[in-house]
Structure 1
């Protein structure tokens, strides 16, 4: 399996970088606030900026090692790079843009052109000029060009930042498909929690040029949701489960989450699909007992693990079936319910609480859904 090892120290002007982490196949998000050093770190990995010391190894191949004097030029590193803007050649068709890096770098064609085109939904745009493409289509072409260069590593520097919400929603399913199909490490730079929750397997938290935390995306995002000073509007968790039952009459499916389950509405469901969901803390309510006569169908038994107070509000970590939820409620409500670590409660997931991140069938198919009222 291709693995990236990074252990470097460097400087960009007066800004210092000192990071060490590993990334396997799938998406590793370099996550943190603007100005944390994420893009500078990508440049050092790509070879367009040089670290002062350390080493970078991708797939067992040394790209940089200060001890031995190794410093491969960018074109020799076998890296695909997707920027914030597509950077397409305006005088070339989509087809020629897609194959440019492969042609210019004289790289072997180990990844089939037609497969990449189908993966990115570009079959009907191959003869089009870049000027006629939407922003989302241009980014898909840029991603396809990077994949067709047969990289051992794919670097993506906030590839959705220049797109509006509609275009972002258009391209996210393609990024999910790439995450599943590419089979290589993908470093994804972002400061958007929703993107990281939807795409990342692993999160490396970057602050002031250093790694402050790293681990599975679900664990890191849950810790950030409880951290003092975090963005309360972005607090939430990732849940993962499998579809067990489908009701076509109501367009719903049952998702098994270890020993519990929730219902989702949507189309294209089939038993056996694996699901990743993002649940926002502000959309989870807490009750001391289950309630009948509510439109909220998802009521999960849970145990209070931690309570973090912040002025008028409290963020409550709830454990259930080996997974975790966060609920952001008022401090007054927490006191009225008598909440304390160890309290047995029920978590009520509202309709808007579940933001579908990804549904994959065993064949890699994608669909979308939301939680029912």
Structure 2
């Protein structure tokens, strides 16, 4: 359990943050300069706030009124940065064991300990143990960095833009590992990112920061919707989350089929065993709308929906908010010209069409 209510003042910037988290992955989301890393550094004890308090599992890490400030090495908090920051002269195994060494030297060693073999197995780094960092890819370095943090047996894992320096294939490699850490290691994570799709995929709770202030707190479905700005810009930032269950996997085509009340959803890759609950992340710019089922078309996913609202400004793009059969919400960005040609109006029954290749998903367990 995290309970943070702090003020940090720096030259030209003030962070005022208050939030709680019960576990799982809590994302700190916002643009660069919004205060995400400052908040993370305060949690880790790398900076001392000017006022307020920070408590973790009932223990006071910082409290201005009582002048309490627990040193970083006594907090049992693991850190993973954008850059893996491995020791270049040590092998992957030696870098991992440094985390265990740090834990032994901690003045607070109570609580569960994560075993070396278990951490290595979850992260899939058995074959990397004898290599030094210069022989590892960016994704492999981040795996080792996560492992090193875990072997300090942290009560909380802080991850500061851990995927920002990686290319798309490496990001897709690391995302499931972060989920496995959460689900199998049961380590709560405070995850910093300004990438909306990462947050939508990973987080159960999102704290949105804007210019040093907490502007919204809630589920990804509730808060990951741009509140303002031109619609032409919103289409790149808006995502929708759909809940579905795995029906099966077509090994020949490499596609999973998910069952959703509005219709079957096709996604690339193996989503999990039949019956697995999955969260599907859909970008608003990847949704098309049809008034009736088209004939020959490459799009596999066509979901029954009703138009809830249409928002248009003076630009070329309109936002169409849909309610899918079953109650999930889905936003689509299409041209104003398409709205007029289709004669779209509130209450119309439509098909929301989504390219399988554009869909991202995660296991819910």
User: TM-score under structure 2 normalisation?
Assistant: 0.90
Q: How does 1:172-183 map to 2 (within 5 A)?
A: 172-183=175-186
Deviates more, 1:275-284 or 1:26-35: 275-284
Q: How does 1:301-316 map to 2 (within 5 A)?
A: 301-310=304-313, 311-316=315-320
- Residue 268 of structure 1 deviates from its aligned partner by 6.9
How many positions carry a matched residue from both structures?
A: 356
2:322 counterpart of 1:318: yes
CA contact (8 A) 2:29 2:192 kept: yes
Gaps spanning 5+ residues in structure 2: where?
none
Q: How does 1:291-302 map to 2 (within 5 A)?
A: 291-302=294-305
Of 337, 343, 358, the match for 2:362: 358
2:347 counterpart of 1:342: yes
CA contact (8 A) 1:27 1:200 kept: yes
Deviates more, 1:190-199 or 1:150-159: 190-199
Distance 2:140 2:198 in 1: 18
Q: How does 1:82-93 map to 2 (within 5 A)?
A: 82-93=80-91
Q: How does 1:73-112 map to 2 (within 5 A)?
A: 73-106=71-104, 107=106, 108=109, 110-112=113-115
CA offsets per residue over residues 173-229 of structure 1, 9 Å max, x none?
A: 2222223223232111111122222222221111001111121112222x22x6434
The 1:235–1:100 alpha-carbon spacing in structure 2 relative to 1, beyond 3 Å, is same
Q: How does 1:162-173 map to 2 (within 5 A)?
A: 162-173=165-176
Gaps spanning 5+ residues in structure 1: where?
363-373
2:21 counterpart of 1:23: yes
Q: Residue in 2 aligned with 1:214?
A: 217
Distance 1:206 1:23 in 2: 15
CA contact (8 A) 1:199 1:357 kept: no
Aligned to 2:200, the other structure's residue is in SS state: helix
Distance 1:269 1:176 in 2: 13
Aligned to 1:181, the other structure's residue is in SS state: helix
CA contact (8 A) 2:99 2:150 kept: no
Runs of 4+ that moved beyond 6 A: none
CA offsets per residue over residues 285-342 of structure 1, 9 Å max, x none?
A: 1122333443433221111122221411101111111211111001122123333332
CA offsets per residue over residues 264-283 of structure 1, 9 Å max, x none?
A: 35447531222222112122
RMSD, aligned α-carbons: 2.1
The 1:173–1:268 alpha-carbon spacing in structure 2 relative to 1, beyond 3 Å, is closer
Q: Residue in 1 aligned with 2:229?
A: 228
2:335 counterpart of 1:330: yes
Of 143, 164, 171, the match for 1:140: 143
Distance 1:352 1:247 in 2: 15
Distance 2:128 2:251 in 1: 35
CA contact (8 A) 2:29 2:194 kept: yes
CA contact (8 A) 1:8 1:18 kept: yes
Q: Residue in 2 aligned with 1:66?
A: 64
Aligned to 1:88, the other structure's residue is in SS state: coil
Deviates more, 1:249-258 or 1:25-34: 249-258
Q: Residue in 2 aligned with 1:160?
A: 163
Of 275, 282, 285, the match for 2:285: 282
Deviates more, 1:16-25 or 1:227-236: 227-236
